[in-house]
C-alpha cells in the first residue's frame, strides 16, 4: 500500500430510536486514502461532497484533529483502540493487533455492554499471522483481510462499495428486536485500485469531473521533494511515486489513461442512486476527485 496519504475520515451517526434500550445506535464510517481537505465542508471548491457536507452542517466537524501515523493500518488500529501507534504497535511492518487489543476495542466493549455489533469492509488491522479473527470480535462479520477488489468476482460484477451497502442493509435486518447496534463500515474507496494508479470507479460514476481542470498543489514540485530528508527520499513512498510518474510519461497528454492520485473524497449516504461521478481514467494532465451520495 502506498503510505503517501492523509488519515482516514471517521464519521459517526447517532440515530434515534433503539427499541426499548434507550441507547443510541452507532454507525462508524471510515474511508481509505482520503485527504483531510477532500471535502466541500473542508473548503474544497472543486470536490462535490453533498452528503459529507450535510453531516458537517447538521453535526460536528472537527477542524483541529491531528494524526501521528498517517498510514491506514496504524490509523485503523488507533480508531479501534484509542491508542497511538507507539502503544498499539500495528502498522504494515509490525504485524496485526494482538488478541488483547481487539478485545478492548470500542466494538468489543460495546458488545459486552449489550450492543449488537457488525463489521463491513476492509479490516486493515489483521493482515499477517493473527491470534484472533475478525468474526470473534463482532456479532456479524462481513469484513475481508488485505486490499480486496473493487469488482469482487463472487458478487457478480457489482462494485465493492455497492456490495457493502447491501451488506449494511443485511446487518440491519438481523439486529435483534430491542437491542442497540453498532455497525462499523470500512470502505476500500477511495483507495487506488490495482497497481496503485487510480480509483476503479463505479460504471455510472465516470464523467462528473471529466472536463474539470484541477491544479497541481503548490508543493508538487521537485524542490519540495529534494528538501525532504534522505530517509524519506529513499523510502517506499518514493519508489511508488516514481513508478506512477513513469506510467504517466508513457501516455500522451491527449490520450485516456489511468491516473495516479490520492486526492479523493467519498460519501456513503444513498439519496440519489442515479448520481454520476468521476472516472477511473482521464486525461493525463488531470486529477480526479470522487464523491457519491449513497
Indicate the pTM of the whole model.
Answer: 0.73
Residue 266 lies in a domain: yes
Binned at pLDDT 50, 70 and 90, residue 14 comes out as: very low
Q: Rounded mean pLDDT of 109-137? A: 92
**What pLDDT, in 10s, does the model give residues 37-70?**
889 999 998 888 898 999 999 999 988 888 888 7
Residue 289 lies in a domain: no
Residue 147 lies in a domain: yes
Examine the pLDDT at 136 and tell me if it is beyond 80. Answer: yes
DSSP letters along 197-252, please?
SS----TTSSSTTTT---PPPTT-SHHHHHTS-HHHHTSHHHHHHHHHHHHHHTS-
pLDDT at position 241, please?
64
Binned at pLDDT 50, 70 and 90, residue 248 comes out as: low
Residue 1 lies in a domain: no
Which of 86 and 272 is assigned the larger pLDDT?
86
pLDDT at position 116, please?
98
Overall domain count for the chain: 1
N residues, the chain: 294
Which of 15 and 238 is assigned the larger pLDDT?
238
What span, in angstroms and rounded, lies between the C-alpha atoms of 68 and 84? 7
Residue 137 lies in a domain: yes
Looking up residue 250, the CATH number of its domain turns out to be 3.40.720
Tell me the pLDDT of the chain averaged across its residues. 76
Cβ proximity of 19 and 180 under 8 Å: yes
Residue 243 lies in a domain: yes
Residue 185 lies in a domain: yes
What span, in angstroms and rounded, lies between the C-alpha atoms of 136 and 119? 11
The conformational region for residue 91 under phi > 0 = left, psi -120 to 50 = alpha, else beta, is beta
Examine the pLDDT at 178 and tell me if it is beyond 80. Answer: yes
Query: CB within 8 A of 260, min separation 6: which ones?
Result: 192, 196, 197, 198, 241, 244, 245, 247, 248
% of the chain residues with pLDDT over 90: 37
Q: Rounded mean pLDDT of 163-187? A: 96
Cβ proximity of 181 and 115 under 8 Å: yes
Question: What is the span of the domain harbouring residue 72?
Answer: 10-283
Residue 40 lies in a domain: yes
Amino acid at each position: 500500500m502506498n503510505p503517501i496519504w492523509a488519515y482516514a475520515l471517521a464519521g459517526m451517526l447517532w440515530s434515534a430510536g433503539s427499541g426499548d434500550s434507550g441507547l443510541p445506535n452507532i454507525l462508524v464510517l471510515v474511508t481509505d486514502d482520503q485527504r483531510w481537505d477532500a471535502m466541500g465542508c473542508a473548503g474544497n471548491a472543486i470536490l462535490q461532497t453533498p452528503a459529507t457536507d450535510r453531516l458537517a452542517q447538521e453535526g460536528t466537524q472537527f477542524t483541529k484533529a491531528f494524526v501521528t501515523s498517517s498510514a491506514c493500518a496504524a490509523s485503523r488500529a488507533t480508531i479501534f483502540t484509542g491508542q497511538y501507534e507507539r502503544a498499539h504497535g500495528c502498522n504494515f511492518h509490525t504485524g496485526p493487533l494482538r488478541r488483547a487489543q481487539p478485545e478492548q476495542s470500542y466494538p468489543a466493549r460495546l458488545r459486552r455492554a449489550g450492543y449488537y455489533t457488525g463489521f463491513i469492509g476492509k479490516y486493515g488491522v489483521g493482515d499477517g499471522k493473527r491470534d484472533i479473527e475478525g468474526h470473534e470480535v463482532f456479532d456479524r462479520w462481513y469484513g475481508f483481510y488485505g486490499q480486496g477488489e473493487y469488482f469482487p468476482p463472487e458478487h457478480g460484477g457489482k462494485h465493492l462499495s455497492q456490495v457493502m451497502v447491501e451488506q449494511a442493509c443485511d446487518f440491519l435486518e438481523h439486529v435483534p428486536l430491542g437491542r442497540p447496534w453498532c455497525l462499523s463500515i470500512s470502505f476500500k474507496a477511495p483507495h487506488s485500485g490495482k497497481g496503485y494508479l487510480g480509483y476503479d470507479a463505479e460504471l455510472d460514476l465516470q464523467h462528473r469531473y471529466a472536463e474539470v481542470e484541477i491544479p497541481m498543489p503548490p508543493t508538487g514540485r521537485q524542490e519540495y521533494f529534494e528538501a525532504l530528508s534522505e530517509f524519506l527520499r529513499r523510502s517506499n513512498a518514493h519508489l511508488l511515486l516514481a513508478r506512477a510518474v513513469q506510467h504517466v510519461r508513457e501516455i500522451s497528454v491527449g490520450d485516456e489513461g489511468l491516473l495516479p492520485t490520492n486526492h479523493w473524497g467519498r460519501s456513503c449516504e444513498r439519496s440519489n442512486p442515479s448520481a454520476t461521478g468521476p472516472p477511473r481514467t482521464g486525461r493525463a494532465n488531470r486529477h480526479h476527485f470522487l464523491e457519491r451520495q449513497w
